[in-house]
Amino acid sequence: MNYTTPDHRRIPARRAADAMRASRSCILTTHVNADGDGVGSQIAVAAWMRANGARVTIVNPTRFPGLFEFLLPDRSLVVDAGSDAARDACAQADLAVVLDTGEVPRIGRVKQMIDHLPLVVVDHHPVGDQPLGGISFRDPEASATGEMVYDLLLSTRGPWPQEALDAMYVAILTDTGSFRFGNSTPLCHEVVADLIRRGCDPEELYRKVYGQAPLRRFQLLEACLSTLTTSEGVGWMSVPPEAYDRLEAVGDDLEGLVDYPRSVEGVHVALLFRQTSRGVKISFRSDGTVDVNALARDFGGGGHVRASGALVPGDLEEVRGRVVDATRAAVQAGLAS
């Protein structure tokens, strides 16, 4: 069966696509610490809008992840939010599109740079406390924002540049954990089937994303695994700060680490802790027993029901103690209900 855009997405997709097609100069942004879905969606939109004749600039609140640079049709698409080039691009733009988040705090310093522009939001997260305004194309049922970008292109019958196809594929690949997570819906497989039909090479894209990890990543994994602990349905690991510094690790190296505690028999919620200068970063993953969006919100974070994050001021040991206690209580409550 071939994919068709679900009915409830049709009108919002059309509205968003019309605004984007009318733009001549557009800013694209995504959430802090962009992932494969955030930047994949940006690059797909950029390639599609450029094929429609628009000027496009990617301005993100934090560094563009090096792992996904291979998707960029050209490196000059991305400018640093602190640069003159970013300021000029924002001054000349007639539209801003926010992808893979719809919350004010999640786009950080870019918010004030695009405040004067009409806005389109394309996102698959549940709406939170501080939603961005503008034209809203949101669907928490979508596997990835990349799947919704596919709806945009479908609603306008393309064009379908190869860069857009590859970027949408990687967006969905990464947000579904290589089609293993609960969001690997029939719809997402139908989208991906069409992307392959149109020319994506799954083996090559998988290899570029997952098949050429630097050695330090395995050395960091070794150090993290030595901290693996489980208790009452909760599994957690901490990134040893000494190993992180010694190995000159970067944020990308932490991608997927939380899947290790998550894979342990009997674990319902997995946690990964990392000390940063601004506090302790926590990743939450749930098998569905606990709503970790609600749990992360108690610590000032948020995300999805099964995957969330938070940044908690304080030091590693103290924060870890509090968060593990709260998570154990949530698992007990979840199992009892």
Shortest CB 171 distance to Mn ion, Å: 7
Give the residue with the Cβ less far from Mn ion, 304 or 320: 304
Residue for token digits 């997995």?
Answer: 270
CA–CA distance, 261 with 265 (Å, rounded to integer): 9
Name the one range near Mn ion by CB under 5 A: 137-145, 227-235, 237-245, 317-325. 137-145
Give the residue with the Cβ less far from Mn ion, 142 or 267: 142
> Among 170, 331, 105, 98, which Cα is nearest to 236's?
331
Which ranges constitute the DSSP H helices of the chain?
7-22, 36-51, 84-92, 110-113, 145-155, 162-175, 186-197, 202-210, 215-225, 241-246, 259-262, 292-298, 316-336
Binding mask 88-127 for Mn ion (x = CB under 5 A): ------------x---------------------------
**Out of 26, 30, 37, 224, the residue judged to bind Mn ion by CB under 5 A:** 37
**Out of 147, 151, 175, 255, the residue judged to bind Mn ion by CB under 5 A:** 175
Give the residue with the Cβ less far from Mn ion, 37 or 139: 37
Give the residue with the Cβ less far from Mn ion, 106 or 268: 106
Strands of the 229-231 sheet, one edge to the other: 229-231, 234-238, 269-276, 279-286, 307-312, 302-303
Shortest CB 303 distance to Mn ion, Å: 9
Shortest CB 293 distance to Mn ion, Å: 13
Number of H helices, E strands in the chain: 13, 12
Binding site for Mn ion (CB under 5 A): 37, 100, 145, 175
